[in-house]
Chains A and B, each alone.
Chain A
Amino acid sequence: MPETPQLVEPPPQADIAPGYTFGSVTDQISAVVLTKRTPIFWMLCFGAGFGLLLLFLLSVAVLFAKGTGIWGIRAPVMWGFAITNFVWWIGIGHAGTLISAILLLLNQRWRNSINRFAEAMTLFAVACAGMFPVLHLGRPWLMYWLFPYPNSMGIQPQFRSPLVWDVFAVSTYATVSLLFWYVGLMPDLGTLRDRTKNRVGRMIYGVMSMGWRGSARHWSVYETATLLLAGLATPLVLSVHTVVSFDFTIAIVPGWHSTFFPPYFVAGAIYSGFAMVLALAIPLRKVYGLQGLITDKHLENSAKVMLATGLIVAYAYILENFTAWYSGDVYEQAAFWHRLTGPYRHSYWALIACNIVLPQFLWFKRVRTSPVLLFVSSILVLVGMWLERFMIIVSSLAQDFVPSSWGYFHATRWDVATFAGTIGLFLFLFFLFIRLLPMISIFEVRTLLPQAKVKEERG
Chain B
Amino acid sequence: MTNAIYGLIAEFDNPTALVMAARAAREKGYRKLDAFSPFPIEGLTDALRLHKNKLPLIVLTGGIIGMLTGYFLQYYITVVSFPINVGGRPLDSWPSYIVITFEMTILFAALSAVLGLLGLCGLPMPYHPVFNVSRFALASRNRFFLCIESADPLFDRARTGDFLRTLEPQEVSEVAH
When chains A and B are docked, how far (Å) is the Cα of A195 from the Cα of B118? 23
Residues of A near B163 (CB, < 8 A) are none
**In the complex, which of the residues B100, B102, B121 contacts A164, with contact meaning CB atoms closer than 8 Å?**
B100
Q: How far is the CB of A212 from chain B (nearest CB, A)?
A: 7
* Chain A residue nearest in CB terms to B146: A216
Residues of A near B117 (CB, < 8 A) are 183, 221-222, 225
Tell me the chain A residues, 147-181 only, with Cβ under 8 Å from chain B.
148, 154-160, 162, 164-165, 168-169, 172, 175-176, 179-180
Q: A222 near B102 (CB under 8 angstroms)? A: no
Ranked 7 nearest A-B pairs via Cβ: A22-B142, A210-B124, A194-B137, A216-B35, A225-B117, A219-B40, A220-B50
Residues of B near A155 (CB, < 8 A) are 82
0 or 1 for each of A224-236: is its CB under 8 Å from B? (1 = yes): 1100110011011
When chains A and B are docked, how far (Å) is the Cα of A154 from the Cα of B99? 24
When chains A and B are docked, how far (Å) is the Cα of A453 from the Cα of B19? 11
Question: Given known contacts A220-B51, A220-B53, is B39 in contact with A443 (CB within 8 Å)?
Answer: yes
**In the complex, which of the residues B39, B103, B118, B138 contacts A168, with contact meaning CB atoms closer than 8 Å?**
B103
Residues of B near A159 (CB, < 8 A) are 74, 77-78, 96-97, 100
Determine whether B8 belongs to the interface, using a CB cutoff of 8 Å to chain A: no
B side interface size, CB within 8 A? 67
Q: B45 near A235 (CB under 8 angstroms)? A: no
Determine whether A243 belongs to the interface, using a CB cutoff of 8 Å to chain B: yes
When chains A and B are docked, how far (Å) is the Cα of A239 from the Cα of B22? 44
Determine whether B120 belongs to the interface, using a CB cutoff of 8 Å to chain A: yes
Tell me the chain B residues, 126-143 only, with Cβ under 8 Å from chain A.
126-128, 130-131, 136-142
Most chain A CB inside 10 Å of its own CB: which residue of B42, B121, B126, B131 = B121
Q: B38 near A443 (CB under 8 angstroms)? A: yes
Residues of B near A232 (CB, < 8 A) are 59, 106, 109-110, 113
Q: How far is the CB of B71 from chain A (nearest CB, A)?
A: 10
Q: B16 near A214 (CB under 8 angstroms)? A: no
Q: B55 near A224 (CB under 8 angstroms)? A: yes
Q: B40 near A22 (CB under 8 angstroms)? A: no
Q: A229 near B113 (CB under 8 angstroms)? A: yes
**In the complex, which of the residues B22, B110, B142 contacts A175, with contact meaning CB atoms closer than 8 Å?**
B110
Determine whether B148 belongs to the interface, using a CB cutoff of 8 Å to chain A: no
Q: A225 near B16 (CB under 8 angstroms)? A: no
Determine whether B166 belongs to the interface, using a CB cutoff of 8 Å to chain A: no
A contact patch SS: helix
Question: Given known contacts A160-B96, A210-B124, is B141 in contact with A26 (CB within 8 Å)?
Answer: yes
When chains A and B are docked, how far (Å) is the Cα of A218 from the Cα of B121? 6
When chains A and B are docked, how far (Å) is the Cα of A452 from the Cα of B38? 10
Q: A452 near B141 (CB under 8 angstroms)? A: no
Q: A213 near B53 (CB under 8 angstroms)? A: no
Tell me the chain A residues, 347-401 only, with Cβ under 8 Å from chain B.
none
Q: B99 near A221 (CB under 8 angstroms)? A: no
**In the complex, which of the residues B42, B102, B116, B142 contacts A21, with contact meaning CB atoms closer than 8 Å?**
B142
Determine whether A455 belongs to the interface, using a CB cutoff of 8 Å to chain B: yes
Residues of B near A246 (CB, < 8 A) are 99
Residues of B near A451 (CB, < 8 A) are 14-15
When chains A and B are docked, how far (Å) is the Cα of A384 from the Cα of B108? 36
Determine whether A72 belongs to the interface, using a CB cutoff of 8 Å to chain B: no
When chains A and B are docked, how far (Å) is the Cα of A225 from the Cα of B59? 9
Q: How far is the CB of A423 from chain B (nearest CB, A)?
A: 28
Determine whether A94 belongs to the interface, using a CB cutoff of 8 Å to chain B: no
Determine whether A23 belongs to the interface, using a CB cutoff of 8 Å to chain B: yes
Question: Given known contacts A26-B141, A211-B125, A220-B45, is B97 in contact with A228 (CB within 8 Å)?
Answer: no
Q: How far is the CB of A250 from chain B (nearest CB, A)?
A: 10
Q: B126 near A176 (CB under 8 angstroms)? A: no
Residues of A near B44 (CB, < 8 A) are 216, 219, 454
